[in-house]
Amino acid sequence: MVADAEVSREPQSLQEELSASQREHPSSPADPVSASAGTAAQTSQPDDTADEQQLHGTVSKFIEAITEFFEQAEKNVSAHPAAHVIGGLAVGILIGRLVGRR
């Protein structure tokens, strides 16, 4: 019974918090001119778009490098099989040591 009372109080407290936050931040401002100016200021952020474009360029270069690596993987494995076996062992040892510490 106590758990039922607590469960029923939780939605009520959430509803009270929601109504309090709506009272603090009304959705329709009194001055529509200042509201449109505020949204225009929020939407125009040239610094963020430049950062996003740079990030997009970096990510696309990374994806191209990964794609090229996988396209050449069969040729590289057949050309240097011992190197890949040793690399696989080294990675396995590192993973084992990292997981073994926990």
Domain that holds residue 91: 53-102
Asked if the structure places residue 43 within a domain, the reply is no
38: Cα separation from own chain's centroid: 27
Domain count of the chain? Answer: 1
Asked if the structure places residue 21 within a domain, the reply is no
DSSP conformation class of 1: -
What does each of the 102 residues of the chain score in pLDDT, given as a tens digit? 555 666 667 777 777 877 777 777 665 555 555 445 555 455 555 556 878 888 888 999 999 998 888 888 888 888 888 988 999 999 999 999 999 876
Cα–Cα distance, 72 to 54 (Å, whole number) = 27
Q: How far is CA 78 from CA 3, 34, 62, in A?
A: 64, 67, 24
Cα–Cα distance, 64 to 60 (Å, whole number) = 6
Asked if the structure places residue 15 within a domain, the reply is no
Asked if the structure places residue 12 within a domain, the reply is no
Asked if the structure places residue 19 within a domain, the reply is no
Cα–Cα distance, 52 to 25 (Å, whole number) = 30
Asked if the structure places residue 78 within a domain, the reply is yes
Q: Check residue 92 and give its pLDDT.
A: 94
pTM over 0.75: no
Asked if the structure places residue 59 within a domain, the reply is yes
Asked if the structure places residue 57 within a domain, the reply is yes
